Structure 1
Amino acid sequence: MDTVTVNDIRLEYEIRGTGEPVLFISPVISDGFAPLLAEPALTERYRLVRYHKRGWGGSTHTPGPVSVADHVADAVALLDRLGIDRAHVAGHSSGAAVAAQMAQDHPGRVATVALLELSLLSVPAGAAFFEQAAPAFEAYAEGDAERALGLFLSLVSGLDPDRCRDLLDERVPGSFEQAVKDADTFFGVELPALAEWRFGPDEAAAIRQPVLSVLGSGTRPLWVEVAAFLRSAVPEVEECVVDGVGHLLHIERSRPVAEPLARFLARHPIAP
């Protein structure tokens, strides 16, 4: 990956394809968008930019707290360095929180927003999710980052730990090992920031760009509830449900995610 310095930190990034720019923002699996960025429906029409947020991969690891707003500032600075005035923005899970905040804070820079199972922990199902994740938190506190990540990813994906790891090894080789290396960022920085993030009806109503909400048909109640919230609160939202997948939807089945995303982007081109 290439590197660029913004806000006194180094960010790793990669660009594929040509056309209107699309910025992809990942959560715990820092290379999770790699399968999606290999899909012809996107690469043949768009300039696809993915990057490692601060604290992930080879990007600079800074001590917490690092807020969702801090990640937004980094993303905007990255666009500046790449000479991109306005982009479509897509995010997954906690990366979708950055995308949603970016649409609010910098509406002139964001043409559309694609939210792949936005993680919003303030909905009622958030408390139950945290209870279910307790064994992962306990494993991390005991110093077993590998077991902690395995438990957490199994919970969010709905797959047993071995099947989940096999999926990641197949679709994004090395991603699980990298997530273990980044465990301090995830458990110590990213999750606390997500818990502090506020995105209620007023904030959702402030997003005036076209929004695509993407949901796996087999996902956890948390993301079903978040999708219902987006449906009720965001002024201009479209929804796509991908059959047979859970929270790792674009890793499990990249093509059924790429194709409706490409159609959504085509319906809402960036104004010249």
Structure 2
Amino acid sequence: MPIVELDGIRTRYETVGQGPALLMFSPGGFDASLDNWISFGRYKQLGFIDALSPHYTCIVYDRRESGQSGGRLERLSWPNYVAQAIALLDHLGVDSAHAMGGCVGCSSAALLAIAQPHRVRSMVLFSPAGGVTYRVAQQRRFAAHLAFVAEHGLRAVLDLARSTDAGFSKDPRVGPWAATLRHDDEFARAYAEADPERYEVIVSGTARLLFDRDTVPWPEPEDLRVLDVPALIVPGQDTTHTPTAAPYLQECLPSTEYRDVPVAQQTKEACAATLLDFLARH
């Protein structure tokens, strides 16, 4: 797969299919690799790439600090995630695209539309993550990681990350830079030698600002309420994709189609038909 440097971040990406561009923000939390569209949880069964690629050029990529993409030891932020996406569109020469987010990828899709509404033809927000339970779980994960660092040090984080394939979402001890630690020796050396106090500030700041509210993380309601980009919202139904997250987006966004269908009825065929119908009209 192609690899390009975007704003100093090594980024693995792939384009699949033909037709109008569809930029896809991967599900999977801190393990948001492009492979998740075909291998992760429900997405393995829903087969979005197979359904959409005959009609659209699906642009998928490893979000920074995920998969084979690189990273930087800095406070992680939603604007940084969106900057990577914009740089990828620029690299590919894509002036406008549909945007689709799965899970926490919905936050990035919405923020891309807020940052550059002229480039986003429509948004598909599928099973958005958010809610009180989600926020608490995310912040608890960061706390567990910092506790491990305080007891064992950053060298132990590096050793642990390289001894397992578990990501931060499954094993908080390995931290949000686990994927980069595994394949980037230069980054790994700098990480292991980083100042522990500075590292604690970076991580605690990341936890506080990435997950700063009990709704869908980060997009401000005032920005959503004046966004003219049409959106299709399909709700989730568990402790991560809480039933409150999708209605929040529906309330804030002025131009939405809300498919209030129980997850059990969100079959491969039904979801494909819903997405293709919506995208064709925009």
TM-score, normalised via structure 1 length: 0.71
Secondary structure of the corresponding residue to residue 118 of structure 1: coil
Conservation of the 8 A alpha-carbon contact between 1:104 and 1:203: yes
Name the aligned partner's letter for residue 272 of structure 2.
A
Question: For 2:76 and 2:139, how far apart are their aligned partners in 1?
Answer: 23
Secondary structure of the corresponding residue to residue 19 of structure 1: coil
Conservation of the 8 A alpha-carbon contact between 1:135 and 1:151: no
Question: Percent identical across equivalent pairs?
Answer: 28
Question: For 2:208 and 2:103, how far apart are their aligned partners in 1?
Answer: 14
Residue 36 of structure 2 is aligned to residue 32 of structure 1 = yes
Question: For 1:147 and 1:20, how far apart are their aligned partners in 2?
Answer: 33
Q: Which runs of 5+ in 2 are unaligned?
A: 39-43, 149-156, 182-201
Alignment of 1:32-51 (within 5 A): 32-34=36-38, 35=44, 36-39=47-50, 41-51=51-61
Residue 245 of structure 2 is aligned to residue 226 of structure 1 = yes
Task: Quote how far apart the aligned CAs of 1:194 are.
Answer: 2.2
Q: Deviations over 1:63-87 (max 9, x none)?
A: 1213211111111110111111100
Secondary structure of the corresponding residue to residue 108 of structure 1: helix
Residue 103 of structure 2 is aligned to residue 93 of structure 1 = yes
| Of 190-199 and 2-11, the range deviating more from structure 2 | 190-199
Task: Quote how far apart the aligned CAs of 1:212 are.
Answer: 0.9
Aligned residues: 229
Name the aligned partner's letter for residue 22 of structure 1.
L
Residue 179 of structure 2 is aligned to residue 182 of structure 1 = yes
Alignment of 1:144-183 (within 5 A): 146=166, 149-150=169-170, 181-182=178-179
Question: For 1:23 and 1:254, how far apart are their aligned partners in 2?
Answer: 20
Task: Quote how far apart the aligned CAs of 1:234 are.
Answer: 0.7
Question: For 1:267 and 1:245, how far apart are their aligned partners in 2?
Answer: 26
Conservation of the 8 A alpha-carbon contact between 2:123 and 2:232: yes
Name the aligned partner's letter for residue 20 of structure 2.
E
Structure with the greater alpha carbon radius of gyration: 2
| 2:71 paired residue among 49, 61, 68 | 61
Residue 97 of structure 2 is aligned to residue 83 of structure 1 = no
Question: For 1:183 and 1:259, how far apart are their aligned partners in 2?
Answer: 37
Conservation of the 8 A alpha-carbon contact between 2:22 and 2:100: yes
TM-score, normalised via structure 2 length: 0.69
Q: 1:117 to 1:81 in 2, by over 3 A?
A: same
Aligned Cα RMSD in Å? 3.3
Secondary structure of the corresponding residue to residue 278 of structure 2: helix
Q: 1:80 to 1:202 in 2, by over 3 A?
A: same
Conservation of the 8 A alpha-carbon contact between 2:125 and 2:231: yes
Name the aligned partner's letter for residue 8 of structure 2.
D
| 2:226 paired residue among 206, 209, 219 | 206
* Aligned structure 1 segments of 4 or more residues deviating by more than 2 angstroms: 34-39, 117-120, 128-152, 179-184, 187-194, 196-201, 218-223, 240-246, 253-259
